Amino acid sequence: MSAVAQITVSPERIAELTSLIRSSGDETRTTVSPLDGADVATIPVSTEQDVVDAFAAARVAQTHWARTPLRRRKKALLRLHDLILRHQDELLDLIQLESGKARAHAFDEVLHTALTGRYYGRTLGRILGPHRRGGVYPVLTSIRQYHQPKGVVGLITPWNYPLSMALVDGLAAVAAGNAVVHKPDSQSPLTALAIIELMHRAGFPPDLWQVVSGAGSVIGTAIIDRADYICFTGSTATGKKIAARCSERLIGCSLELGGKNPMIVLPGADVDRAVEGRISAAFSSAGQLCVSIERVYVHESLYERYRDALAARLERLSYGANADWEVEMGTLVSPSQLATVEKHVADALDHGATLVAGGHARPDIAPWFHEPTVLENVPESALCHAEETFGPLISLYPYRSVGEAVEQANRTSYGLNASIWGPVRRARRIAPRIQAGTVNINEGFAATFGSIGAPMGGMKESGTGRRQGAEGLLRFTESQSVGVQRLIPVAGPSFLSKRAFGRLLTVGLVLLRRFTPKA
Ligand code: NAD
């Protein structure tokens, strides 16, 4: 039995899913599975007119949806949580088929998405308000802050986490009362389409979430030119182009971009635990994960023990391109991903780096599979010293002092995620010194990534804005303050002169300053 035989999605089902793409032209594109290089689906390519139509339908749906009581929106989110868990087998098959990742890593996406539905389903009212705010005159002025939806959000997502990256942002957008026009990456549209069906069953209106497909430079641009807000996940290079285009229209955007994430292993760290943590931190989705660790700084007192334990553990790592839950690493997604990893390894070796483990492509496992690879003695001139590899490649560096480790960790244009292993109190004191949107202590990335109440996003060139938590929802809203004034106008009553009113206000302010309880 071939490895892929265990992952079955019938051609009829694939045709059913692709029919959900808004497309009117004849152009199509064939997608290929990284599991075995075989064709997966013929995907219709949308035209610019399809994008126009998608926005028109989404705007109508959004107008009704924004007036839907919050309790109905919450119910739909919680129902979606249940449906995702119930229908996880098909979602896992589709994710694996399109991305080639291990089944356990595909399950991370199911989990992340279900947790997002539950989080916003439970907290929506609390986050959206309305919230009372202090008025200019106590009692006489009352203020309520509302959060109005932006309208139609353009959602542009990558291939590496096709379910998770669409839903963790998209669900927050619809929860806030928006509609979505979504362009998944051309490699992975099926996963995104399967979720739309579940959303309809959960109670979200049919036209609220539109899917279009096609090249980013064409269809992505057509979305940016019509959206009220853009939510983008992808590379820093594309993120910069998107930010420029959004600024021309003066629309907001959140950008979740690349990373070159560091891990620091402190003196006193449990080496075996740190090595085990390293496996999931670096090789989830074969390292094709924005928060994946690619640089490890190990205190010199532990360095050799850590390096040897990591190499020994990688010898025992189980690879595969199939539906086995125990597989610890799947394949890279495409020939170009494999080419980048091979280029980074060869370039580092040319510049004097040494191989600790791995180092080779393994077409016997899957066409674009590359062994998990560890390098040491990587000089600054090597590409993989500072550039994101986005694959299963890590570099080890010994350090003498924590100050040196922090300085090295921060010596990058990125600032997405970081990880510290060792005594918790010490690690907590170091965390604020690291320039990264998330810092995980004794974990690679999953502690913050899986905690939906905690905002996640990048500093520096890793992006702007935050997903997850209240911030992840409020970015899709416009804040609106509504004030009510009672008895006298703010400028003072007509029976008092301006001067007398000024004096009265001065006394009032002095008293308020003295007697208002401290916040
Ligand atoms: P990419 O930037 O090439 O593509 C991402 C998406 O943008 C795709 O849907 C693509 O079609 C679209 N696109 C491309 N050019 C566009 C344009 N000019 N206008 C509008 N849309 C355009 O990224 P990729 O290579 O597919 O994804 C990998 C990158 O994504 C890595 O750098 C990774 O770190 C990053 N990433 C970041 C996060 C995060 O949360 N920070 C999560 C996942 C991936």
Q: Residues near 397 by Cβ (< 8 Å), separated by ≥ 6?
A: 295, 296, 297, 298, 376, 378, 408
Q: What is the set of active-site residues? A: 256, 290
* Confidence at residue 45, expressed as pLDDT on a 0 to 100 scale: 97
What is the greatest pairwise CA distance in the chain?
93
Amino acid 1: pLDDT: 40
Asked if the 7-257 domain carries CATH number 3.40.605.10, the reply is: yes
Per-residue pLDDT of the chain (519 residues; tens, 9 = 90+): 445 557 879 999 999 999 999 999 999 999 999 999 999 999 999 999 999 999 999 999 999 999 999 999 999 999 999 999 999 999 999 999 999 999 999 999 999 999 999 999 999 999 999 999 999 999 999 999 999 999 999 999 999 999 999 999 999 999 999 999 999 999 999 999 999 999 999 999 999 999 999 999 999 999 999 999 999 999 999 999 999 999 999 999 999 999 999 999 999 999 999 998 878 888 999 999 999 999 999 999 999 999 999 999 999 999 999 999 999 999 999 999 999 999 999 999 999 999 999 999 999 999 999 999 999 999 999 999 999 999 999 999 999 999 999 999 999 999 999 999 999 999 999 999 999 999 999 999 999 999 999 999 999 999 999 999 999 999 999 999 999 999 999 999 999 999 999 999 999 999 988 887 776
Contact assessment for residue 36 and residue 3, using Cβ atoms and an 8 Å cutoff: yes
User: For atom 12 of ligand 1, which residue has the closest CA?
Assistant: 216
Centre of ligand 1 from the C-alpha of residue 193, in Å: 19
Distance between CA atoms of 89 and 337, rounded to whole angstroms? 27
Three-state secondary structure along 306-338? HHHHHHHHHHCCCECCCCCCCCCECCCCCHHHH
The residue type at 252: G
Which residue ranges make up each domain of the chain? 7-257, 261-451
Residue of 235, 257, 261 with the most ligand 1 atoms within 8 Å of its CB, for mutation:
235
Nearest CA to ligand 1 atom 13: 216
In sequence order, which residues have a C-beta less than 8 Å from that of residue 112 and are 6 or more positions away? 161, 163, 164, 167, 168, 449, 450, 452
89: which residues sit within 8 A by CB, 6+ positions away? none
**Helix H or strand E encompassing 397:** strand 393-399
- Residue 396 is encoded by which pair of tokens? 């080890």
CA-to-CA dists, residue 256 to 72, 112, 156, 166, 417, angstroms? 29, 16, 10, 12, 12
Q: Cβ < 6 Å from ligand 1: which residues?
A: 156-161, 165, 183, 185, 216-217, 220-221, 233-235, 238, 241-242, 256-259, 290, 388, 390, 416, 458, 463
Ligand 1 atom 11, closest CA? 216
Give the H/E segment covering residue 398. Answer: strand 393-399
Q: Of 90, 93, 85, 86, nearest to 110 (Cα)?
A: 85
Q: Are 320 and 365 a contacting pair, CB within 8 Å?
A: yes
What's the Rg (C-alpha) of the chain?
26
Closest residue to atom 10 of ligand 1, CA basis: 216
Q: What CATH number was assigned to the domain covering residues 261-451?
A: 3.40.309.10
